[in-house]
Amino acid sequence: MNTINWFERLNHTLETYQKDKHIDPHRLQYHLMPAVGLLNDPNGLIQYKGTYHVFFQWNPFGTVHGAKCWGHCTSQDLIYWQEHPPSLVPSEWYERDGCFSGSAVEVDGDMVLFYSGNVGHDNNILETYQCMAVSHNGFIFEKKGPVVLLPEGYTSHFRDPKVWKRDGVWYMVIGAQTFSQEGAVVLFASSDLKKWELKGTLAGNRINGLIDFGYMWECPDFFELDGNDVLIVSPQGLEAKESFYHNVFQSGYFVGKWNVGTTEFPHGEFIELDRGFDFYAPQTFHDQLGRRIMLGWMGMTDEQEAYQPTIEKGWVHALTIPREIELKNNRIIQKPVQELQKLREGNGFQCRTSIEDETKTWPELAGTVSEIKACFQENQADTIKIEIRKNLSIVYIQHMKRLTLERKRFIDGKIESRSCFLDKLEDLHIFLDTSSIELFVNGGEEIFTARFFAEATDVDVFITADGRVDATLEKWNLRNPKEL
Ligand code: FRU
């Protein structure tokens, strides 16, 4: 489809949606999401000429995965996101079935995007092209076509270029599958962003001691963080073990030391970035305040995707809140960016409390779009349980040193859970947005991200302790960024 027809179709879709628009209790308020259609990975994250740009995988024409374009939003403060027309739409032969994920860099005042052109054929045969597009203003892009073709040794599951500069050289990592069905990350180098030299496999299954580590690795990101090198990747095909890898696909990272310019990257173990149900394909960028900020897709291509109740309203999925990341003891710590505090309404609610073999609730804790902080001082309780909106429970069992998030499945309302080992529960920092929770545990050492679909009238939060716990509670209702 040519670009003009594509935009005509988009305008028609948006007009139809506006006409049909009715109250939607699950529509998120402060998360980045498009008006209609299916969103997945964050793409091209960059602060360009002072403005934050977030692009995202978007199928505006349905709530299924399809020929994606790059949706586009900008923000001055990471809070209020202004929507713009899509920046890349599938119009050329090399991207006929989707402008897939990729990244952005700034070069001599221009914004340059790298993305995967996806071409599908019958029998699941794919072609993949790593493409480039250039813009003088960050809004209108000129496509330059493929700059990297599929090298030998890999299947056409070869995509999601992330580009960066180090010591004067441009590098690109690509998510890949080898011919022997091993997930891998492939490294390229360039001096001009147009000609790319294949360096080889930077990391992957059967490298650096990894065994059974997936048949495909998607969406790599590679960057320096606090003196180390971090490779984020989303492997497919990991088997669940203990409390790990319970989602259909995972996202996590390796910390190591890169021998710059080579494929030598000795690294430590794979650590999951999120322990919840809905987190995938994150990407990071470095902002002008020197922060490394990450956004992920708050979704998952699992069997429940098609059962999300928002589908009947014409949309599905959102991005996570922006999170600042840092390394502490070789682990990534995630914190909601401090700009989010601007959303807090008034002084909020604060109280100190003891809960002992009882369930307590406060009318002030109730709400659907809110931030709750709970700090636990004296904890003699064996179990602490926080029940939210009759749909979610956060449960810490001290003798098992286990923290669990339970939610109701979208398919049948049955309870399902995700857990992590936690030596001691110190604090919980919860962001609720009508139908999402992002739970930061112990200052961001563990995070659980999940969607849930409660009745709009179920707003209460209950805290139960089996034994005694002393806690400080804080809560703010959060304003809609459009009303700031
Ligand atoms: C990850 C992913 C990427 C691909 C994109 C397509 O969710 O599968 O590998 O580029 O989504 O939308």
Domain-wise residue ranges, the chain: 3-339, 346-483
Rounded to the nearest whole angstrom, what is the distance from the C-alpha of residue 57 to the centroid of ligand 1?
Answer: 8
Looking at domain 3-339, its CATH superfamily turns out to be: Glycosyl hydrolase domain; family 43 (2.115.10.20)
> Residues with catalytic annotation?
41
The residue whose CB lies within 8 Å of the most ligand 1 atoms, and thus the one to mutate among 68, 101, 300, is 101
CA distance 481 to 483: 5
Rounded to the nearest whole angstrom, what is the distance from the C-alpha of residue 89 to the centroid of ligand 1?
Answer: 15
Judge whether 283 and 45 are in contact, CB under 8 Å.
yes
The residue whose CB lies within 8 Å of the most ligand 1 atoms, and thus the one to mutate among 58, 70, 215, 218, is 218
Q: What residue owns the CA closest to ligand 1's atom 6?
A: 100
Q: Which of ligand 1's atoms lies nearest the C-alpha of 234?
A: 1
Instruction: State the pLDDT at residue 20.
Output: 61
CA distance 85 to 80: 17
Residues in the ligand 1 pocket, defined by CB under 6 Å:
40-41, 57, 68, 100-101, 116, 159-160, 175, 218-219, 280-281
CA distance 152 to 343: 50
Q: Which fold has domain 346-483?
A: Jelly Rolls (2.60.120)
Rounded to the nearest whole angstrom, what is the distance from the C-alpha of residue 158 to the centroid of ligand 1?
Answer: 10
Judge whether 252 and 273 are in contact, CB under 8 Å.
yes
Instruction: State the pLDDT at residue 347.
Output: 96
The residue whose CB lies within 8 Å of the most ligand 1 atoms, and thus the one to mutate among 97, 160, 300, is 160
CA distance 412 to 416: 11
| Kind plus residue range of the DSSP H or E element containing 115 | strand 110-120
Burial of 281 (0-12, 13-18, 19+ CB in 10 A): buried
Residue 365: DSSP 8-state: G
Which residue matches tokens 């112990």? 442
- Alpha carbon distance, N-terminus to C-terminus of the chain: 39
Instruction: State the pLDDT at residue 151.
Output: 98
The pair of structure tokens assigned to 250 is: 């995972």
| Kind plus residue range of the DSSP H or E element containing 11 | helix 3-20
Rounded to the nearest whole angstrom, what is the distance from the C-alpha of residue 320 to the centroid of ligand 1?
Answer: 16
Instruction: State the pLDDT at residue 399.
Output: 97
Residue type, 148: V
Q: Residue 483: CB partners within 8 Å, gap ≥ 6?
A: none
CATH topology identical between 3-339 and 346-483: no
Q: Output the CA–CA distances (angstroms, integers) from residue 448 to 280, 325, 393, 436, in the order listed.
A: 12, 15, 12, 11
Total H helices, total E strands in the chain: 1, 31
Q: Which of ligand 1's atoms lies nearest the C-alpha of 41?
A: 7
CA distance 58 to 443: 32
DSSP β-ladder status, 415-421 and 37-48: unpaired
DSSP β-ladder status, 37-48 and 315-316: parallel
pTM: 0.97
Instruction: State the pLDDT at residue 238.
Output: 97
Q: What residue owns the CA closest to ligand 1's atom 9?
A: 218
Beta bridge partners of 202: none
- Give the rounded distance of the alpha carbon of 406 from its chain centre: 20
Rounded to the nearest whole angstrom, what is the distance from the C-alpha of residue 41 to the centroid of ligand 1?
Answer: 7
For 155-205, the DSSP string reads EEEEEEEEEEEETTEEEEEEEEEETTS-EEEEEEEESSSSS-EEEEEEEET
pLDDT-flagged residues of the chain (< 50): none
Q: Which of ligand 1's atoms lies nearest the C-alpha of 68?
A: 12
CA distance 279 to 247: 9
Rounded to the nearest whole angstrom, what is the distance from the C-alpha of residue 150 to the centroid of ligand 1?
Answer: 17
Instruction: State the pLDDT at residue 379.
Output: 87
Residue 305: DSSP 8-state: G
Q: Which of ligand 1's atoms lies nearest the C-alpha of 160?
A: 10
Q: Which of ligand 1's atoms lies nearest the C-alpha of 175?
A: 9
